[in-house]
Structure 1
Amino acid sequence: MTAVEIPRQRRARRARYRLRVAAVAACLTLMCVLAGTVAARVYHGRLLVLLVAGAALGAFAIGFALRNRPSFLAPGASLVGLTAYLLGAIALTADGTEPLPATIVDALVNAVPRTLTALIPVEPAPDTVVVPVFLTWLAATLACEFAIRYGRTLLGCLPPTLLYAAGLYLVGPNADGGTVYALAYCVLAAAALAVTAAPPERRPDGDAVVDGPAPSKAPALMGAVVTTCVLLAAVALLGPAAARLVTADPGDPREYVEPPQLTDIDLNPLVRIAAWSKYPDQELFEADTSGDSWMRLAVLTEYDGTTWQAAGDFRTAGTVIPGSGDADFSADVEIIGLGGKLVPAAADPATITGLPIAVNLASRCLLTPDGLATGSTYHVESALVAVDPAGAETARPNLADGSTVAVPPGTPEIMATIAEYVIATYDTPFERAQGLADFLAQHYAYNPEAPSGHDLPALGFFLGNPADAGGQRGTSEHFAAAYAIIARLVGLPSRVVVGFEVPGGSSTVTAGQGSAWPEIDFAGVGWVRFDPMPAPDAVPTPPEDTLEQMEEETPTPEEDEGGGGEAEDFNDEALEQDGDFDEELAEEAGGVPLWAWYALGALLLACVPLVLKARRALRRRRRLTRGGPADRVARAWAEVLAAAARAGVRVPGHANAEEAAARLASLEADIGPLPRLVNAAAFAPGAVTEEDARAAAAVAGEYPKRVRHQVKRWKRFLT
């Protein structure tokens, strides 16, 4: 080898190595991007995709640039880059309501639990992007070190693979299978392994010196063969188990993380009504709304006889609340003295900014994990729920959710009595719902000093005790809770809502505007609000007067059957009549005599054979006169086969015309040229003429008459 060829060979080997290393680095970088993108499928928008892609590119750029430097430089530089990138991601996703240092600390401390409890689709926020960005950067750094610095490409594929698995676990059953992601990932991994980088001692780039001939390819080829055999054996052994795992439903990690918890006053928000009623001038919050609205605080559907509670858990959400329509209502709220964690908002909230939010998807209510404090502000936009009153008047109750009609044991007797009154007085579900509200409003009074309590004994005291003993007086807590339970006894699905009546424009909402009200669920309409509260200064009618009057007017079962009151004298001669008593009653009632019904039934039975015969004749005529020549030939053949079947000779559907003709020969009835015409209609329909169709119709018309004597008599008579 000449002195000129040696440097040329060195340059070629160096170029091949650099191309191989660049290809491996590109494949592993894209693998890290894909692995991070797997988790981004449950995030809102494309921001997280861009963040994890930037993290993978940044980490690999640092590692690749320092691949030939001392090994301690790359981790330090990567850590600095990760810190700067995380701070940039937090600043990019922050809403600016809190100082940046406080936002950074909160995001780092609460990143893991909030990522796992975030409501899907997850809103990219400081505390929900930290984990995927950090893991993507870490996976890219380790992959670069293993594959590029130390030349172990297979080991370098492990970090992005673990990141891919973590993304699948985070997604759980909340997205599609991601087949395209899996295929692209496998292709990139195969490409990286195919152009595996050389070990460090064989590197011809940088300051490395290339001496002697190129290394033999035989050991590398042998290693590739052995590796392929090992992979095939692993696939054969682990394939069935992997297939079972693929077809199984993945678990959701959100099930194992405790959701945001409510305070005592939020667990049972109905108890706040009593305090609001006693101090109606207490300022709770300021609101600037785009229109009049009922801003809900809590929706309560489950009742155990003691307390009303909300169903479902709260899940952390971002600024966008999933499942809402287009927002047509907005409110800017500043908290003064409300307290607790529940956040007032009109139904249904669509977006909210200014507070960290968790959402109860069952009730669509909002909660802030840190609690409301004086001075807290937020902006909420809602898609107001529109109810069709006309549709509700004719709708049926929606009984799909059993928890909305469940009644605990031990309900007071007065509730059952009121329910019976409502059922006896009103007919439709909507009338009963409105009638129950009217009954409570007309027979009970509002008293802001009434003690709090909505358990069954307290509600029984409110409904059943006389006014001079402290009963029949209560707050909206008592009216709403009693209404909801009695509605369920009537068969109406109900729930209790706690909230505020807020006028449009800018106003200060006081405790006097807080109340509870019941709602009824109608199929196809939704939840409809009803107002059982009495009018101001209304004088209630004692409920016992109305209920006792109903008992007096309602006949007993004995009276309905004629056995109540004084017994009739069945020995009275006036009751003795000659003749058949039932017949005279029928004649007096002007009814049809019984013999006429029997005669009509016999006439209808006699007409059945005539109807069947007429139907068969009309079908034959329709078959033989409509359509083209080929179609009429085929239908004539169908008529012949039907007539033969009535005579007891059935031709299987797979038989051709010649086989069918052989079977029909047993009936000793000529079918003429019909088999030939049938074959022509099937294989050369254009060759069938009108004359052929008329000939086939003539055969089909005469054939039933020729085989009639072989049809059983009862069949001839009936059909």
Structure 2
Amino acid sequence: MKFAWVAAVLLVGSLQLSQAWDGAIVYFGLAAFAGFLALLLKRLVPAGLAGLAVMVLAMAGGFFAARGASPDRDPTWVLLDTVPRLLTAARPAPATPELLVPGLLLIIGVSTVTVLSVTKRGTALFVPALGAAVLYVSAALLTTGRADRYGLVALLLVVLLALGWLIIDRRGPVVPPAVLATALAALTLLTIVLPTNGFEPRKLVTPPVTDVAIANPLPQLAAWAAQGETELFRMRGPEVPVRLVTLSRYSGASWEAASTYGPLGVVDPPDLPTGGKFQDASADLRITGLEGEWLPGVGKPQAVSLSDAMVDPDTGSLVVAEGVRAGLSYTVRGVVETPADADLASASVPADATRYTALPRLPFTLAEYARQATQNARTPYEKAVALEQVVRLNRRPDAEAPVGSSYARLETFLFGDAGESGAGAGTAEQFASAYAVLARAVGLPTRVVVGFQPVPEENGERIVRAADATAWPEVYFTGWGWVAFDPVSGNGSGPSAASKREVLNRLASTTAKPTPTSLASVPPLVQPTAVAPDAVAAPPTPQGFPFWVLTPLLLLVALYAARTARRVRLRGAGPVGAWHEVLDSLQLAGLRPRPSRTVPDIGREWGEAGQRLAAVVDQAAFAPAPHPGPPENSWRLARQVKKAVRRKASWWRKVVWAVDPRPLFRR
């Protein structure tokens, strides 16, 4: 019975945690029973050694499962790196080996400790309750409270624990059930309140450090924004955006840089050709504070003065073998595509650019939002302009917004409720990513560029600082190349403001309010006196009932269950248990006798029932031989004494009589 109860508690907690992953229920359900392997090993070796053996096997399996993401790293680094990988993945996280490892190891550890603990006397209730709390809190933090919106799983765990206290006969010193119930209720409240107040565990970790082939520099934008006036590099040349790295692959969790680099002039041509209209640009740059592998450049690089510079032919991203360092000076020459507004108005997009339109497992909400936003656009260019306006409306730049470009982060950015962390607010990462994903959803080839805005000259030089870092999306038009858009302000490089205004005016005059769907409606396109930032209020979203207010009720239920469990145990202890029930009543009424008083002395104060119960207790304790007369019903006598005691209690003590936790602490 004891092990069945433990298995039920672990299974509920593990299935709750599995909601932070997509399709991981089976894995987590099996992991809940890993502790029983330690129970089998305990027959051969001591319990501590059995638990250690299970955890070593689990960590070894976790290393072999996750090392594919970091094949050249040592086991400790690989296992530790799975945590930031998980915290920077999509929500729910894909069920890939390296993302499953942290959750599975947590469950296996909790299961092993819990199962081994119940084999010892005095800890049967403490460790399972603690393990359930750990799994529940982990699930709440990984899903920001969404795994148990209404507190039903928390209530189920409390009921399971209460049943354990009622059924399992505890012996020896244990942590009082009231303490466990209070701790579980407090943790439940904590894990519901923290997410609603903007707590985001992803802020506590640095995004995983990976090889340049799959690195994502977008989260660095928030760090650069915090550094503000820190100087990164200086340049001489035209006032054009400086490109650092172009991201073209999107996994649903993040953007990824290119994986193939080669020397300029000996690499294959790009998968999408350069546009028909462009101009040459050349710049001299000197690194002063920038670090990393990528080399800043202008346009699509054609030549670099550094012998070890490598380029990705498709995106034009530059890297240097030894990394960028302070004092590095070089000249880069590139071409900047300059299509005219009239060229873009009638341009098409390639039908076979699957690399730039891929959206693995695109959520319906994002696809429908993009469809509504562009339903009256006639050409790819009009779709691109309409999406730039829609992404910008009702949303604001915020340098302190949560980082990330996963589907879950973009849904929060676009549709999140007021007060939710990251709702309607983001850095250039969220604006650019939201635009690129929505544009791909309607067939436009897109990519995201991380770079720096053009800055004015100071004494013949342009000083680029950390605050100038940004990101912008680009759309590819057949024959004209990649064209930049600016969903943050609408005034960046690319098509002219007059061209965009003309498109938005036409769309605003023909676009009706979208048909309501399960997602927040797309804001109707307003008549733009321009493409400047708008301050249109988002439509109010109805708020659900705050179920966390039921937490005090859960606490009262837990205390009542603990008190009931104590009465059941005392009733099974015969006359001595009945006398302890009387002592509990005296404590509840504020009449607790001094420890020096004897049982008969106390019993005489409560009439005939008290005296008879005291005699029965004395006989049971000191002369357990059979009584010659009919046996006294000690529990019936105890109830009579309890009624007399309760009548002398104050009214407020009677109100809290059934849930007062003080008897739980009395030995």
TM-score category of the 2 structures, normalised to the smaller one: 0.3 to 0.5
Larger Rg: 1
In terms of fraction of residues, the more helix-rich structure is: 1
TM-score scaled to structure 2, two decimals?
A: 0.39
TM-score scaled to structure 1, two decimals?
A: 0.37
